[in-house]
Amino acid sequence: MRLNNHLAQGKLLYLMSNNNHNNDRLSISESKYYRWLSFDNTVQSIMSLRQPDALTMPHQIALMLPLLFFKPTEVTEVGLGGGNIARFLHSLCNQINFNSIEKSDTVIHAFKQFFNPQNIHFNIEQGSPSLSDTHNLNSYLAINSQWLLIDIYQQNDDTLKQPLNVFKNLIGVIKEHRCLSINIPLLGEKHLKQELVSLLPLLAHHQAYYFKIPRYKNIVLHLIPNEYVKEYGSNFIYNSFNNHLDNFTADHANNFPENVIDSKIENNKTIENSYLSNLIFKRWSGFWQLGFKCGSKIE
């Protein structure tokens, strides 16, 4: 059964006004196999009841692609939501020091009551870092954090209405050996390319990549340290996006055909630097090939 059908058959478990947004109502519903969190009937996060640590939405796979290159031990997330990223990373390695910054106490309460069936423990800080103020944002980041993930509810976040300005500010925060991944609203293709190219002079120690998410009005941007991608990622982008991905889902990413992987890549060497299993590593490598490298010529 398609995920959309499960959502249509859901039963309401919880309904509450979001204290941080007067116009938002937070609801939690579930079917036989899924539980999900919504703001004003817009699904924000979905958890599989049979496998709570599974990634269920395509943009989450895209956000996790830097795991192809390194094994982070300290991760900071802005935007807790339903906790999909926290559960997934904990399943890969329970020694990762995971920190989540969430501005809504209602969302934090919902996660603890409905979206933490495995009772995993990590630091949750209630706060609202301004993505347009690098000094403010930097004060929220753990000094040793190797990876900053930003995936926040965008309806009421004015800073994300100019996402490339946000990305420019974040470049100033990310240190040489740190990775940044951000989910932002989709811009026009031509405008996006122009804006990303304008950021190239700021990228002394990183490579920038972006991924369009089929059927979703958003993209995922990554800043990955040069040292992680110089032998692997820089040659692993095809700068193409195949038509058959119109119906792309998270399940497709987890079952991507292995025969699309570049045979020149020494997978065994790179797998050693990843928490991912050999099978998932190879499948996600196929997904990685569908991204775009900032500064490459894209026709």
Spatial contact of 183 and 265, defined as CB atoms under 8 Å apart: no
> 98-102, 158-162, 266-270, 272-276: which has the minimum mean pLDDT?
266-270
Burial track 252-272 (b if 16+ CB lie within 10 A, e otherwise): bbeebeeeebeeebebeebbe
pTM of the model: 0.82
**What is the tens place of the pLDDT at every residue in 229-250?**
775 544 444 333 333 334 445 5
Mean pLDDT value across residues 193-197: 74
Measured from the Cβ of residue 8, the count of other Cβ atoms closer than 10 Å reads: 9
Determine the pLDDT at residue 203: 82
Q: CA 80 to CA 214: how far, in whole Å?
A: 23
Q: CA 123 to CA 121: how far, in whole Å?
A: 7
All domains of the chain, ordered by start, with CATH?
61-293 (3.40.50.150)
